[in-house]
Amino acid sequence: MDKIILNGKVVDNNVSHIADEDTVPASGTISVSLERWVENRGDLITRGDCGVRLTGGDDFSQILPDLAKLPLIVIEFPAFTDGRGYSYATLLRTRYGYTGELRAIGDIGEDQLQPLQRCGFNAFELREGLDPTTAIDGFDDFSVRYQPSADVNLPLYRQIQR
């Protein structure tokens, strides 16, 4: 079984990402595309173990009414240069109050872990060939963070007690 990083720990990956043309299994935690979610929303909500998979071009406003029912939102990064997922995560956490698992998948490397976490991601499926056990050190790349973000809402100068 593949390993992922979830809430700062390396754990087994228990999510199957179902392609649009594939049959949805009867049980087990899954993610489906936004298009499939919209088409089969009622059945998928009833499962209670289905998440939505977004790409940078998706209009995620379609899932906003369902945020409280979604245990998982997966955001795909087709290339490390595609920053739209960072914006999606920040909006989902800060503006819309999403509290479930927010997972980054695709072209995810060790050097992206801390910035992704700061935007609100708490789960990471690293790109092929990277070992989560060693990549987890990426969370410690920087000890001081100046800007506010989804994980710390005050800039550094406001955090310092005078």
Note the pLDDT tens digit of each residue in 21-74: 999 998 899 999 999 999 999 999 999 899 999 998 899 999 999 999 999 999
Contacts made by residues 145-149, CB under 8 angstroms, sequence distance 24+: 145/118, 149/90, 149/118, 149/119
The answer to whether residues 89 and 75 touch, using CB atoms and an 8 Å cutoff, is yes
- Residue found by looking up tokens 């976490």 in the block: 117
The model's pTM is 0.85
The answer to whether residues 46 and 68 touch, using CB atoms and an 8 Å cutoff, is no
pLDDT tens digits for 107-136? 998 888 888 998 999 999 999 998 998 888
Q: Minimal CA–CA distance to 67: which of 29, 98, 36, 34?
A: 98
For residue 154, the enclosing domain spans 3-159
Structure tokens of 160?
Answer: 């310092």
Three-state DSSP state, 35: helix
Query: Using CA atoms, how far apart are residues 117 and 102, in angstroms rounded to an integer?
Result: 10
**Tell me, what CATH number does 63's domain have?**
3.20.20
Alpha helices in the chain (DSSP H): 34-47, 84-90, 113-119, 132-135, 156-159
Domain count, the chain: 1
Pairing mode, strands 123-124 and 3-6:
antiparallel
pLDDT (average), residues 135-139: 74
